[in-house]
Amino acid sequence: MAAIRTFLVSSSVLVAMVGCGPIGGVETGDAKGRGNDPILPASADTEDRETADPVTVVTGNATAENGGGACPVPTGMPAAGALTANEPLPDPFTSLDGTRITRKDQWTCRRAEISAQVQEYELGPKPARPSILTGTFASDVLSITTGEEGKTIDFTVSITRPAAAAAGPIPALIAIGGSSLDATVFAERGIATINFNNGEMGAQGNMQGMPSTRGQGKFYELYGANHGAGSMMAWAWGVSRIIDALESTPEANIDTKHLAVTGCSRNGKGALVVGAFDERITLTIPQESGAGGSAAWRISRMQNDAALALNPAATPNDGRVQLLVDAQGEQPWFRESFSQFNNIENRLPYDHHMVLGLVAPRALFVIDNSTQIWLGSESSYTDSVVGGEIWKSLGLLGMMGASQVGDHDHCAFPASQRTELAAFVDKFLLDDTSANTEVMHSDRVTPDLARWQPWTTPTLE
C-alpha cells in the first residue's frame, strides 16, 4: 500500500522530500493526483491555477524501470503564474525544501523531485507497467500485447541482428523512428538494432495551423484520448513495454542489460525522454534534439532575442531559434497545459540541464550540430555543459559527454564524430573500460557559465 501525505505548498517551495534509496528514478501520477492507475484516463488538464494547492505526496515501490519509486513524490503543483521567475538555470542540487544535497545517495530522491516536476509541467505522467504484458518473437519481429483485463493493445518492433552478432544475447540500439547514426559502428560490433515506430504509439505529423494529432495513437487507445501525457511520454512508455517484453522473451536473444536509445531531431527529443524515464537504458544518445531535447528553454530565449536584435526579420530558416511557444504549437510532444509557460519559460522550476540529468548516473552522449541555429546551437551546448555538472558531482567523469560539430545537413552524422560515438558504444554496451569517453566540445560555442550557472557544483560524498 502506498504511503500518502498532504502538504500545503507555496509558489517557491513545494514540499520537503524525505527518504532515499539507491541512485535511480521514479514514475509519478498526473496533475490530478491519480497516481499510476493503469487504465484510468486523465481528464482535461487544469490550467491557470494561480494559488498554492494542497499537494499529495505518494510513495510507491522502486522498480528496475524506476529505482526512485520509493521516494515521496508530489502531485498537484502550482501553475505558471504562481511560480517565481528565475533567469539563470536552476540549481539541480537544491531540493524542494530549499536544502542542498550533500551525499550521492540523496541524488535518488532529488532526481525523483525533478522527474515529478518535468511530468507535472511539461511531459505529462508516465503510467506504470500494466498488469498484462506478453511478448512473442518470430521472423525478426517482436510482438507485444499489453494493457489490463478487457482493454489491451498490440504493437510490433523489428529487430535486426548484424552478421557479426554472437549466437547468444547481444546488446541492442533502440532507434526512435529510425537511426541517423553511423550504422556500421553498431553492426561491426555485433549490436542489434530495434526499430520503434513511435508515431504509431503517439501520433505526430501536424504542423502549426493544421488539425492536431493530440490524443491519437496506441497509447491513447489504451489510456484515453484525454490522458495528460504528451506524445513523447507515450513513446517512452512504449519503449518501456518493449524492454519488458524483451526481458520475458529470451528467444529474441537481446541482452537487456546493455541497451542504448537514439533518435534525431524530434525523435532525438524522444530518445532523451526515453533514457530519462527508464533506468534500464544503459546509454542515451539524443542527436540534434533542440527545443524539448538538449536545448534549455531559458538559453534558447536569450539566443533568439539576440538574433532578433540583430535582424528583426529573422525567420526559422535564417537566424531564429525555436522557443517553448514554437515547440508547444508544432506537435503534441508535451502535455497540453505546458502552454502555461509560453513566453514565461523562466518561471519553470527546472530546465533541460536537469532533464539531461535525469539520465544520471547512467551514460549520456549528446550529439549536436553547431550550424543548426533553429535548434538552439548555443543553448544546446551550454545546457549540456551545465548538465554535465550533475555527473561531475557524482564522480562520474566520462559517463556524460557532448559533441557539437557543424557544417553538415540536419541529421547527417559527420565522420568526425564516429570515433567519439564508437568509444561510448564500446564502453557502455561492450564493457570496454579502456575506451575514452571524456568528450565535451563544440566547434563554435563557448558557454557563458557566469551568466547561466551562478551556483557551484558540490562534490557529493
**For the chain, which residues make up each domain, given as ranges?**
132-452
Mean pLDDT of 17-28: 33
Are the C-beta atoms of 420 and 406 separated by less than 8 Å?
no
Give tens-digit pLDDT for 254-278.
999 999 999 999 999 999 999 999 9
- Is 289 known to be catalytic? no
> What average pLDDT score do residues 281-305 get?
98
Report, as an integer, the average pLDDT of 323-330: 95
In the three-class reduction of DSSP (H, G, I as helix; E, B as strand; rest coil), residue 146 is classed as: strand
Tell which wins on pLDDT, 56 or 272: 272
pLDDT tens digits, 93-120: 999 999 999 999 999 999 999 999 999 9
**DSSP symbol at 94:** B
pLDDT at position 206 = 61
Q: Give tens-digit pLDDT for 225-254.
A: 999 999 999 999 999 999 999 999 999 999
Residue among 149, 135, 132, 126 at smallest CA distance from 219: 126
Q: Would you give the DSSP letter of residue 13? A: -
Which of 54-63, 104-113, 154-163, 439-448 has the weakest average pLDDT?
Answer: 54-63
CB burial of residue 247 (10 Å; 0-12, 13-18, 19+): middle
- Rounded mean pLDDT, 177-183: 98
CATH number of 132-452, picked from 3.20.20.370, 3.40.50.1820, 3.40.50.2300, 3.20.20.70: 3.40.50.1820
pLDDT score, position 57: 54
Is the per-residue pLDDT at 454 higher than 90? yes
On whether the CB atoms of residues 394 and 310 are closer than 8 A, the answer is no
Q: Is the pLDDT of residue 43 over 60?
A: no
For residue 278, what is the enclosing H or E element? none
Dihedral (Cα; 322, 324, 330, 336), 10-degree rounding: 170
Q: Kindly tell me if the per-residue pLDDT of 446 is higher than 70.
A: yes
pLDDT at 16 over 80: no
Q: What is the mean pLDDT of residues 186-191?
A: 98
Query: Following CA atoms 381, 387, 389, 393 in sequence, which dihedral angle do they give, to the nearest 10 degrees?
Result: -160
Q: Is 209 exposed, middle or buried (0-12, 13-18, 19+ CB in 10 A)?
A: exposed
Catalytic residue among 95, 265, 384, 442: 265
- 419-450 burial code (b ≥16 CB/10 A, e <16): ebbbbbbbbbbeeeeeeebebeebeebebeee
User: Per residue in 123-162, pLDDT tens?
Assistant: 999 999 999 999 999 999 999 999 999 999 999 999 999 9
At 197 the three-state DSSP class reads coil
Q: What is the DSSP string of 104-130?
A: GGGHHHHHHHHHHHHIIIII---PPPP
Angle 386-441-294 from CA coordinates, rounded to 5°: 45
pLDDT tens digits for range 389-432: 999 999 999 999 999 999 999 999 999 999 999 999 999 999 99
- Whether 384 sits among the annotated catalytic residues: the reply is no
Between residues 412 and 42, the one the model is more confident about: 412
Q: How many CA atoms lie within 13 A of 363 on its CB side?
A: 24
CB-hemisphere CA count at 13 Å for 327? 32
Choose the most confident range, by mean pLDDT, from 5-19, 48-62, 196-210, 254-268. Answer: 254-268
User: Where does the pLDDT of residue 54 fall: very low under 50, low under 70, confident under 90, or very high at 90 and above?
Assistant: very low
CB 333 within 8 A of CB 292: yes
Q: Above pLDDT 70, what percent of the chain?
A: 86
Q: What are the helix (H) ranges across 248-402?
A: 266-276, 297-310, 324-330, 352-357, 377-393
What is the reported pLDDT for 89?
A: 98
pLDDT, position 211: 76
3-state secondary structure of 58: strand
> For residues 357 and 103, is the Cβ–Cβ distance under 8 A?
no
The conformation of residue 446, written as its DSSP 8-state character, comes to -
Phi, psi of 22 (to 5 degrees): -65, 155
All three cell numbers of 374, joined, read: 533553429
At 363, which amino acid appears? A
What gap in Å lies between CA 180 and CA 122, rounded to an integer? 26
